[in-house]
Amino acid sequence: MFKRPLSSSSRALQQVSKASQSKKFNLSDLEFGKLSKAQIAYLDRVIRVDQSGELGANLIYNAQYVVLANRYPHLKPVLQHMWDQELHHYSTFNDLQVRRRVRPSLLTPLWKVGAVGLGAVTALISKEAAMACTVAVETVIGNHYNEQLRVLMNQYDVPIYEKNTGEVISKESLEMTLRTSPELRQLKEFIKEFRDEELEHLETAIEHDAKKAVPYMLLTETIKLLCHGAIYTAERV
């Protein structure tokens, strides 16, 4: 009932918090409230699926690089750049998976084989098909990261307490950076950064003639479907 105050009462609340604004809080004064079971479960899924996804992306670029780098020397730095970024994403999520005590996907061996296969087969068809594969994968991953960000922004509104007294602190009296726990803020920053880089890869792939791949629609739509299936499974298993 207090979550959605009427407009008049919310105005009143804001006035109260302005009055108490005089006190300035540091991060060390705050204790962030308990996350619900559903919130924990979602974070669990986020880390597991992102780790598997980055593992896959990393191996796709790896396979593309092996097949294409010597045949088309001008693609070498492009692929290398994308691959390096994926490696950084992958190691970040590996680190999170270990430190946050999330179990890795049980199907990790399958993701490895599938990703190498996908990267190698599309690269063997043609360099345009490889780029079309990148387009499809990065589209799905970009959207998926955005969806995760939306949930992490909207659904993680936990109460914040003052550490010593245990009193609830109103969010309005805190600076923006203190309104979410460092842990969640950092996770969101990672996801934002990675999403931007994935979309950069998408653009790079289009600049390198992805749309000239034959049959473009069939390739991209099939790969998108595969990615959606993999995401659904990696979240759960």
Partner 1 sequence: MSNRFWSRGLQSVRRYHAYDHPASNLIVDPTKLENKLLTKSLEYIPQFGFSDQCISEAIKQMQYPDSIRSILTASFSGHSTELQLMVHWLKTQRQALDSEVNSPDSQLHSITDEYERASFLINKRLSYNIPIIDKLSGGISQLLVPYNMSFSLEELYNLGDDIAFHAGDASIDFAWYAKRLSLSMVYVSSELYMVQDKSADFVNTKKFVEDKVKNIDHLGEAYENIEQWAFFNAISAFNLVKSQVSRG
Q: Tell me if 189 is assigned to a ligand binding site.
A: no
Assign 30 to helix, strand or coil: strand
- Give 30's strand partners: 162
The nearest distance, CB 190 to partner 1, in angstroms, is: 15
By CB under 8 A, tell whether 33 contacts partner 1.
Answer: yes
Contact 112, 53 (CB under 8 A): no
Q: Which is nearer to partner 1, 55 or 205 (CB)?
A: 55
Residues 71-110 that bind partner 1 (CB under 8 A): 94, 97-98, 100-104, 106, 108-109
Rounded Cα–Cα distance for residues 200 and 198 (Å):
5
Phi/psi at 180 (5° precision):
-120, 155
Query: Does 138 carry a binding-site annotation?
Result: yes
> Is residue 121 close enough to count as binding partner 1 by CB under 8 A?
no
Considering the rule CB under 8 A, would residue 44 count as an interface residue with partner 1? Answer: yes
CB of 124 to partner 1, least distance (A): 16
Q: State the nearest-atom distance from the C-beta of 181 to partner 1, in Å.
A: 4
CA R_g for the chain:
22
Whether the Cβ atoms of residue 179 and residue 171 lie closer than 8 Å to each other: yes
- CA torsion 159→163→168→169, rounded to 10°? -90
- Rounded Cα gap, residues 4 and 92, in angstroms: 37
Is the distance from CB of 108 to CB of 55 less than 8 angstroms?
A: yes
Task: Indicate which single residue of 12, 16, 40, 113 sits in contact with partner 1 (rule: CB under 8 A).
Answer: 40
Binding region for partner 1 (CB under 8 A): 31-35, 40-41, 43-44, 47, 51, 94, 97-98, 100-104, 106, 108-109, 158, 181-184, 236-237
List, as residue ranges, the binding site for Fe cation: 54, 86, 89, 138, 198, 201
Q: Which parts are annotated binding residues?
A: 54, 86, 89, 138, 198, 201
